[in-house]
Chains A and B, each alone.
Chain A
Amino acid sequence: MKQYQLSTGEKKFIGSHLLVAILSLAVGSLFGPLQAFEHAGWDFYPYLRPWIKSYYQGLTVHGVLNALVWTTFFIMGFLTFNVIFGLKRPLKNPTLNKVGFWLMVVGVVAAAIPILANQATVLFTFYPPLKANWAFYVGLTLVVVGSWVEGWGLFMTFAAWRKENPNVTSPFIAFASVVTALLWQICTLGVAVEILTMLLPWSLGLIEGVDPQLARTYFWFTGHPLVYFWLLPAYLSWYAMLPKQAGNGKMFSDSLARLSFWVFLVLSTPIGIHHQYVDPGVSPAWKFLHSMFTFGVFFPSMMTAFTVVASLEHAGRKNGGKGALAWIGKLNWADPSVAAQLLAGILFFFGGIGGLTNASYNVNLVLHNTAFIPGHFHLTVATAVTLSFMGISYWLLPYLTGRKLWQPKWAVAQSWIWFIGMIIFSNSMHVLGLLGAPRRVPLGLAPYVPAEWNSRLFQVGVGGAILFISGSIYLTIMLMTALNKEKVTEEVEVPIAESMQDVSLTPVWLDRWAPWIYGALGLIVLMYGPVLFEMIKNIALTSPGFRVW
């Protein structure tokens, strides 16, 4: 059976997302190792002074490009692919999606100019009253608005498909993509309000001051679900593509996969205060309530773990795997896309445990803003998400360009090198955090570093070096694939793991949108309404801006 064909224009449009994403990753990743090397005592920043003024300017570039730009562009491209391919129909209004994409591009450029001019060295959290140039805030706004517009294009396409197919269960990859885009629309309201009501008018000189506590609360309204916006596309691939790639396996349960996406939509926003356990202006009662709901998100994560592992086991046994665990060896480890995503999933297990630790209310007193935190999120966003996206690009780029993947064996090696480098880097960061090392500090220069941290700081540098090698191989493979003269003979097959159960038996309430959306919004009102009402009622715009970098 021939698979659904995307038009050349559609492939180009999705490919443009990948291009911006990978370029951002290339620039942003240059600075990751520089932070790690600094920790080990090899500080290259003095040599970069003509272009990059400080460790913190480099850290801002790294955080903004890798955590915000690489992820958002890759995700919007991947979701667009899934909606078109999954629904087997073109976008309802392709112009709208193009407008969204270009708004995002203009936004990235607008934010990049002040960052590179050292006018926005505020890191990717941009906490006021550190005050960046206004263009930085305009740029962020355009990226968010552009991604909304692209999201609307996806919703319209889904709605049009539903009209044409009233009584059919929606294809899982399209369903999961639209839920992810919807989560993003809801959760970015926080940062949109933060920028539009405080930071932008303040940076333009229209208001004198801001309320830093309120700004943090808006920020984390978006900041936590942002994590799920990153993760859900990786989950989508793990659920519905990886089992197929790993050994022609099927998805264990279509119903529970859908249920877990819905629970993520409902639960990932109203828990943002777990990033603010040690903020002075939020009452402990709300902090505690948000911590309990955060534990609730553990539930769909565990369901995902079960369904994904069960689907992979199905693939492993189909490949002749036996035993309780020996089937793991029978998965298609030689396929770079499989190796990358399996290794990403393995490290995500530890990322999940760390996340649960961070979320555990008063346990956060030991960890808050220590090196444990970047140690943690390099397992989640920088491995579970990034290494999975790299794995996806190993089939998606050949699919989109019709060119053969350059050196697949190197691509397999790249995943393993990332895996090893990240274990060394992340483990030493976690340990440093437990020993009390703060995050966001050039620890090679900090005056209070005791000798017992030194061996771990050295390991951070070693891990960074290994990751740099892996990242360089990845970028080389992407470049050489895009230029590869060797074409694929037939269109690359899109890996789709069908559900083991008949999807027509998926309960109808798992394909109904309104109750889940109302549930998500209702819970946000309950969990954030009183907190924000109180804060806005007592708003004190008393903090003028500072440029202290």
Chain B
Amino acid sequence: MSANKIHIDRYERNWMMFTAVLLVLFATAVSVSAFGMGIQVPAPEQRVDPKTVGTDPNSPWSSPGLREVAPGKYDAYILARAVPTWEYLPKEITIPAGSSVSFYVTSSDVQHGFKIQDTNANFMVLPGQVSKLTIKFDKPGTYNYICTEYCGSGHGIMYGAIIVTP
């Protein structure tokens, strides 16, 4: 063994520099899209008790569904569950095009996922936690929301739909 300085070949040094530049580029792109353009991942919202969240009359998920909070602005409280069967409550939401919807999703039993097709909404739904993301729907059409985490035998049939009317 020796205490010599590490020997780095010229080509390898260039390659490492190239890697460093590439990483700075990637990190910049991600940062700009996250903080400049506001494409954000879910943040801690609220803790709930999964045993009572679907039944307690004070819990908004005891009567899940859409609430209009301002013109064209909605809150959607969605309960994901595997018991008694694999489903989202409500199964369907109808909104006019141009609406902005904040989704508040939780589970009363196991882990689920929530992904709205053709949008950036895609997050985990955990018992005890509330997942929130806000999405604006400009184009009319049907957007399925599907379960993306294994939640038992019925995982593959668990979905709902957002109908965006013109």
Binding site for B on A (CB under 8 A): 54, 56, 123, 125, 127, 129-130, 167-169, 211-213, 216, 252-253, 255-256, 259, 276-284, 287-288, 291-292, 295-296, 298-299, 302-303, 306-307, 310, 356, 360-366, 368-370, 436, 438-443, 445-448, 501, 504-508, 510-511, 538, 540, 542-544, 546, 548-549
Given contacts A446-B156, A540-B47, contact A504 B23 (CB under 8 A): no
- Selected contact of B39 from candidates A362, A368, A445, CB within 8 Å: A362
Mark contacts of B99-138 with chain A using CB atoms, 8 A cut-off: 1 yes-contact digit, 0 otherwise. Answer: 0000000000111010101101111111111111000000
CB distance from A488 to the nearest CB of B (A): 36
Bound together, the chains give a CA A441 to CA B43 distance in angstroms of 27
Given the complex, which residues of A lie within 8 Å of B2, measured CB to CB? 504-508
Given the complex, which residues of A lie within 8 Å of B121, measured CB to CB? 365
Given the complex, which residues of B lie within 8 Å of A510, measured CB to CB? 6
Cβ of A549 and Cβ of B159 under 8 Å apart? no
Given contacts A283-B44, A361-B30, A544-B51, contact A127 B111 (CB under 8 A): yes
Cβ of A506 and Cβ of B1 under 8 Å apart? yes
Bound together, the chains give a CA A259 to CA B118 distance in angstroms of 43
Given the complex, which residues of A lie within 8 Å of B5, measured CB to CB? 507
Given contacts A253-B9, A298-B19, A538-B47, contact A507 B3 (CB under 8 A): yes
Cβ of A295 and Cβ of B27 under 8 Å apart? yes
Cβ of B6 and Cβ of A511 under 8 Å apart? no
Mark contacts of B4-30 with chain A using CB atoms, 8 A cut-off: 1 yes-contact digit, 0 otherwise. Answer: 111111011001100110110011001
Question: Can you show 17 pairs from A to B with CB atoms below 8 A apart?
Answer: A130-B110, A130-B150, A169-B1, A279-B124, A299-B19, A302-B16, A310-B9, A361-B41, A362-B33, A362-B39, A362-B41, A366-B122, A368-B113, A438-B113, A504-B1, A507-B3, A507-B6
Cβ of A361 and Cβ of B109 under 8 Å apart? no
CB distance from B62 to the nearest CB of A (A): 17
Cβ of B8 and Cβ of A280 under 8 Å apart? no
Given the complex, which residues of A lie within 8 Å of B83, measured CB to CB? 546, 548
- Selected contact of A280 from candidates B44, B50, B144, B153, CB within 8 Å: B44
- Selected contact of A278 from candidates B19, B22, B41, B118, CB within 8 Å: B41
CB distance from A111 to the nearest CB of B (A): 18
Bound together, the chains give a CA A123 to CA B40 distance in angstroms of 29
B147 interface residue per 8 A CB criterion: yes
Given the complex, which residues of A lie within 8 Å of B63, measured CB to CB? none
A130-B150, A442-B156 known; 17 new pairs, CB 8 Å cut-off, are: A56-B150, A129-B110, A169-B1, A213-B129, A276-B124, A280-B42, A292-B27, A298-B19, A310-B11, A362-B41, A368-B123, A438-B148, A441-B155, A505-B2, A542-B49, A542-B127, A549-B152
Count: A-B pairs, CB below 8 Å: 223
Cβ of B34 and Cβ of A361 under 8 Å apart? yes
CB distance from A103 to the nearest CB of B (A): 29
B82 interface residue per 8 A CB criterion: yes
Cβ of B115 and Cβ of A356 under 8 Å apart? no
- Selected contact of B8 from candidates A168, A256, A287, A366, CB within 8 Å: A256
Cβ of B41 and Cβ of A212 under 8 Å apart? no
CB distance from A308 to the nearest CB of B (A): 12
CB distance from B87 to the nearest CB of A (A): 12
CB distance from B125 to the nearest CB of A (A): 8
Given the complex, which residues of A lie within 8 Å of B110, measured CB to CB? 127, 129-130, 546, 548
- Selected contact of B12 from candidates A213, A306, A361, CB within 8 Å: A306
Cβ of B50 and Cβ of A369 under 8 Å apart? no
Given the complex, which residues of B lie within 8 Å of A436, measured CB to CB? 115, 117-118, 146
Given the complex, which residues of A lie within 8 Å of B132, measured CB to CB? 280
**Which chain A residue lies CB-closest to B161?**
A448
Given contacts A130-B152, A291-B30, A505-B4, contact A279 B128 (CB under 8 A): no
Number of interface residues of B (CB under 8 A): 69
**Which chain A residue lies CB-closest to B147?**
A438
Given the complex, which residues of B lie within 8 Å of A213, measured CB to CB? 126, 128-129
Cβ of B51 and Cβ of A542 under 8 Å apart? yes
Bound together, the chains give a CA A67 to CA B157 distance in angstroms of 27
Given the complex, which residues of B lie within 8 Å of A211, measured CB to CB? 128
Cβ of B82 and Cβ of A546 under 8 Å apart? yes
Bound together, the chains give a CA A374 to CA B40 distance in angstroms of 24
**Which chain B residue lies CB-closest to A299?**
B19
- Selected contact of B109 from candidates A280, A288, A504, A548, CB within 8 Å: A548
Given contacts A362-B34, A438-B115, A506-B1, contact A283 B43 (CB under 8 A): yes
Cβ of A280 and Cβ of B149 under 8 Å apart? no
CB distance from B50 to the nearest CB of A (A): 6
**Which chain B residue lies CB-closest to A254?**
B7
Given the complex, which residues of B lie within 8 Å of A370, measured CB to CB? 115, 122, 148
Bound together, the chains give a CA A545 to CA B142 distance in angstroms of 35
CB distance from A531 to the nearest CB of B (A): 11
CB distance from A331 to the nearest CB of B (A): 20
Cβ of A366 and Cβ of B127 under 8 Å apart? no
Cβ of B159 and Cβ of A447 under 8 Å apart? yes
Given the complex, which residues of B lie within 8 Å of A447, measured CB to CB? 157, 159
Bound together, the chains give a CA A21 to CA B51 distance in angstroms of 42
Cβ of A540 and Cβ of B128 under 8 Å apart? yes
CB distance from B148 to the nearest CB of A (A): 4
Given the complex, which residues of B lie within 8 Å of A440, measured CB to CB? 149-150, 155
Per CB-CB distance, the 7 closest pairs between chain A and chain B, nearest first, are: A548-B152, A369-B148, A278-B123, A280-B131, A280-B129, A441-B156, A302-B19
**Which chain A residue lies CB-closest to B121?**
A365
Bound together, the chains give a CA A253 to CA B148 distance in angstroms of 44
